[in-house]
Amino acid sequence: MTDFTREIQLVNQLADVSTEVICQYFRQANIYAETKLADRSSIVTIADRQAEEAMVNILRETVPNDGIIREEGENIPSKNGRYWVLDPIDGTSAFVKGLPVFGTLIGLVDSHQNLPLVGCLNQPILQERWLGITGKIPTLNGKPLENPYAKLTDSQLKDACLTSTTPIMFITQRQQAIAAKLQQVCKRIAFGGDCYNYGSLASGWSSMPMVILESDLKYYDFCALIPILEGVGCIITDWLGNTLNSESTEVLAASNQTLHQQALEVINN
């Protein structure tokens, strides 16, 4: 098994430096922010840009042959097939409201195999850091995670909590119809949370099994989450059940295989 000691040290360094930047701006009035063109719900702040730039500077100095896929700036091509995938603040809408349910996402992927190698979800305010490494049990602040719902084979979709960051992320008529179908099946529906939903899913914090349905995503929104979720027995794919890749925009995640399969059946029918 590959030893990712060096990569883990670098992930923690990136999480630390982004934490320093983000904490300077959290719950500060009148910080500079913009709304991205044609998307009223997509906000970018000076904290996003400075945190990303701080991480990029470290990567360019430390691993110059690795590429970078980033949310705010220009991507950097890879010379060896490895890419760091960065989202400095996933959940900027929560950040600007002063709610600590956003996170920094840091992923490392082997693009030749479409294999996420390392993934980190860092919540700087609550000081929570999820770390996933392919083939190993993920951790939260260094302690192994356990998903209590992972091995359940009698889970029922109607009893799960269906979660999406926002209903307006379902753009097309097809996406809206699928979301509406799943919302009719599930008795419990919750909106909000961004990447923090996936941290809760991996940690088994929810009072019942969860299904997360999201669309209109980019690679940096979910790449880092894959090794964290898969390492605890959660399932994460696109809406057709296919392995996620850099072109995917629709994500379906569930506490276990049984729920995931039931959700796929609703989507495909």
pLDDT tens figures, 233-260: 999 999 999 999 999 999 999 999 999 9
Percent of the chain exceeding pLDDT 70 equals: 97
Tell me the pLDDT band of 2, cut-offs 50, 70 and 90: confident
**CATH of segment(s) 157-268:** 3.40.190.80
Is residue 71 a known part of a binding site?
A: yes
Single out the residue of 251, 266, 162, 150 nearest to residue 211, CA to CA: 162
141 close to 128: Cβ distance less than 8 angstroms: yes
Query: pLDDT tens digits, residue range 195-219?
Result: 999 999 999 999 999 999 999 999 9
pLDDT of residue 3: 80
Crossing angle between the packed helical segments 173-185 and 257-268, to the nearest 10 degrees: 130
Is residue 154 a known part of a binding site?
A: no
User: Does the pLDDT at position 36 exceed 80?
Assistant: no
- The CATH superfamily of 5-144 is Fructose-1,6-Bisphosphatase, subunit A, domain 1 (3.30.540.10)
Name the token pair of 7.
């990569």
Any idea where the domains of the chain sit in the sequence?
5-144, 157-268
CB atoms within 10 A of CB 181: 14
pLDDT of residue 40: 45
pLDDT of residue 121: 98
Tell me the pLDDT band of 1, cut-offs 50, 70 and 90: low
User: Does the pLDDT at position 43 exceed 60?
Assistant: yes
Q: What is the mean pLDDT of residues 131-142?
A: 96
Q: What is the mean pLDDT of residues 88-115?
A: 95
Q: Is 15 helix (H, G, I), strand (E, B) or coil?
A: helix
* pTM, two decimal places: 0.94
pLDDT of residue 269: 86
Name the token pair of 262.
């039931």
Maximum C-alpha span of the chain: 51
Is residue 87 a known part of a binding site?
A: yes
User: Does the pLDDT at position 44 exceed 90?
Assistant: no
User: Does the pLDDT at position 41 exceed 60?
Assistant: no
What is the strand order of the sheet 103-110 is part of?
Answer: 67-70, 82-90, 103-110, 115-123, 128-133, 139-140, 143-144
Is residue 265 a known part of a binding site?
A: no
Percent of the chain exceeding pLDDT 90 equals: 90
Query: pLDDT tens digits, residue range 147-199?
Result: 999 999 999 999 999 999 999 999 999 999 999 999 999 989 999 999 999 99
Is residue 221 a known part of a binding site?
A: yes
Lowest mean pLDDT among 69-73, 75-79, 225-229: 69-73
